[in-house]
Amino acid sequence: MRETLTPTSKPVHVIEETAPATQTVAHISASEVRETALRAALTLASKQDANGYWVGDLTGDSTLQSDYILLQMWLYPPDEDGVWNPPTMPRVRKAARAILDAQRPDGGWSIYTPGPAEINATVRAYAMLKMTGLSVDDPRMRRARDLILKMGGIQACNSYTKINYSLFDLFPRKYCPTIPPEILIIPGNLLYEMSSWTRTIIVPLSIIQAIGQTRPTPGGMRINELMHPRRKLALHRRDRIGNIFIKADTLFKRWERKSVKKIRGRALQEAERWMLNRLHFSDGLGAIYPSMMYTIIAMDLLGYERDHPDLIQAIDQFDGLMLEQEESLIFQPCKSPLWDTANTIFALGELGAADHARTTEAADWILDREIRRKGDWAAKRPDLTPSGWAFEFANEFYPDMDDTALVLMALLHARASDPERQARVERRAVRWLLGMQSSDGGWAAFDVDNNWEIFNSIPFADHNAMLDPTCPDITGRVLESLCRRGFKPTDSPIARGIDFLLRSQETNGSWFGRWGVNYVYGTFLSIRGLAATGASHAKTAIAHAARWLREVQNADGGWGESCLSYETKRFEPAESTPTQTAWAIMGLIAAGEIYSSAVQQGIRWLRESQRPDGTWDESVTTGTGFPRVFYLHYHLYRNYFPILALGTYAKHFESRTADGARVQ
């Protein structure tokens, strides 16, 4: 297998220019586009931290603020008279204010922008606003309550909302799915057939449920008014396998009542050990919000005193996710420094605007964060040498393939202060990435062959993320990353990755996007991956995908796609965004359509929508956490993706002009 590991490898292949049936428009010159991109690049470069990295805010929806208030109710219960005045009350009030600010005119709360009211977000917001003293007779509360009942009441919520409120006797525990800690001691590594984020959520939850304590609410408040009078409380699934799991849940509950103390004690000890081990070398369990919150509750139930260093660390790491202002408090679901830094270096590098001193600082910072210990992934790849990078500042058990592939591309544009060390790190990372290819030829986020579909029928699987299957967007990025380092379409991993993408293409030419919204994201990365391989048998698929991108372009020249597409399983148009416009442009350029009217109009849209300071505005949600359940707003996407698209355009325009290509 051929492997080139120097940062001077040749750039990605591009399909030869095609002649799409689109209207010809005047071509925008490379100098004009470069001027626009450089203006943005100067602003983005200035955001580099003194330690060498870039990180933007990463926000979700109002459920994070609601759950923060819930956690404060757990840690600081009301006194004997029902009065609730936690030491964190100033922050609680700020969180409540942020929740109210996010309320929609119809009384509900959405999980993406712009999006409709969603039952879980609305129930959580109403409940926590009530607990913080907002009267149920307030017009805002009346509108929310009416809408909740119209949507099916609290019974229509997912398992995690119900479990959260069962901790305060606000929802009957017997109607919540059971997560037994014995899952950690049964043979077969069953836990590792679930996605990494599910593992980090259910292990502390299993401790919480096994201990089974509850906390009072302020003044003994209830939310019975949210119970729909005609809907059942009991667990129910419409499919046969789901009903089997519900019967199993009944057995789990019986086991909880009559369990052998010795077995339950051993299971709890193993769950505690598993949880605490993953707090080391990490910014919290999984370094993500829900796991970190449940870890704090679990440690509290296990008897960790408030001055215990592990509990202090867990709370500090959780509080470190907040973005606090004078009048408001918003929580981030996690932090994204590796992702933002790699995207920034890659964008600036492709533009040719990467400052040597800045990129050296960034490269040194990145190399220091290579993961050298085995994580959960080693359950299926025990002999693979550890490497790779995580998404966050520190998350040693969970390096991911998407970040690793992107970092490897970024390092092509960055020379560390120790080139020999950089070469060693890159070699390890490439080997790790190759070793994490799944049997179907694709790459997932954190694990290999994490695809037991039966798990999606488990009662607590309604967060829609029980599994971490291979996906086109990550596979496309990995293919591009490896081919930029000299791999060929005849190399086995590349050939298998190509076949995966060709098999997973939708009939309309698009690809599903798991980690970005949605088909535009999956399509641009799949095209780039296939184009990078130079595989002749992928040209038809690429052309089909390019045609689809042209067809979904907005009339204003940009591209926009709604999170609703995850619900309907088809492209759903939205207002043009700089992020999604940049993705589409890059997909079309990789497909050889740099001179097409679609690309020219997209470039013009980016230039005309740029702000005077070189940045772009974007309110529409373009990032994906769990499809249909949780979405992300990356606040730097709207800046570095347009730079990458504009830089890609300028580079290829100049290259074709230099090669004598006819420019009309």
Which residues are known to be catalytic? 402
Length of the chain: 664
Residue ranges with strand state E in 593-651: 623-626, 630-634
**Reduced 3-state DSSP string for 324-335:** ECCCCEEECCCC
Omega within 30 of 0 (cis) for the link into 642: no
Query: DSSP label at 379?
Result: G
The answer to whether 438 and 468 have CB atoms below 8 angstroms apart is no
Residues 202 and 274 sit within 8 Å (Cβ to Cβ): no
Contact (CB, 8 A) for 365 and 357? no
- If we measure between CA atoms, which residue out of 380, 374, 403 comes closest to residue 390? 403
Q: CA quadruple 645, 647, 653, 656: dihedral positive or negative?
A: negative
Q: Taking CA 350 as the corner, what is the angle to CA 346 and CA 355, rounded to the nearest 5 degrees?
A: 75
Nearest alpha carbon to residue 400 among 287, 532, 523, 513: 287
Q: SS3 of 53, please?
A: coil
Residue 396: phi and psi, rounded to 5, are: -60, -30
How far is CA 497 from each of CA 182, 198, 259, rounded to the nearest angstrom?
A: 37, 26, 47
Residue 171, token pair as written in the block? 């929802």
Beta bridge partners of 400: 389
Cα–Cα distance between 410 and 643 in angstroms, integer?
14
Q: List the beta strands (DSSP E) in 317-412.
A: 322-324, 329-331
State both tokens at 158.
Answer: 């997912």
75, 80, 131 from 216: Cα distances, Å: 11, 10, 11
Contact 526, 476 (CB under 8 A): yes
Q: Which of 659, 663, 594 is nearest to 18 (CA)?
A: 594
- What is the distance between the alpha carbons of residues 56 and 636, in angstroms, rounded to a whole number? 5
Q: What is the distance between the alpha carbons of residues 226 and 244, in angstroms, rounded to a whole number? A: 29
Structure tokens at 169: 């006797």
Q: What is the CA radius of gyration of the chain?
A: 25
- φ, ψ of residue 580 to 5 degrees: the values are -70, -30
* CA nearest neighbour of 474 among 303, 304, 339: 339
| C-alpha closest to that of 537 among 504, 489, 493 | 489
- Please say whether the beta carbons of 39 and 606 come within 8 A: no
Comparing C-alpha atoms, which of 531, 458, 463, 481 is closest to residue 501? 531
Integer Cα distance of 422 and 7 in angstroms? 9
Contact between residue 363 and residue 411 where contact means Cβ atoms under 8 Å apart: yes
What residues are paired with 573 via a beta bridge?
561
Partnered with residue 634 across adjacent β-strands are 58
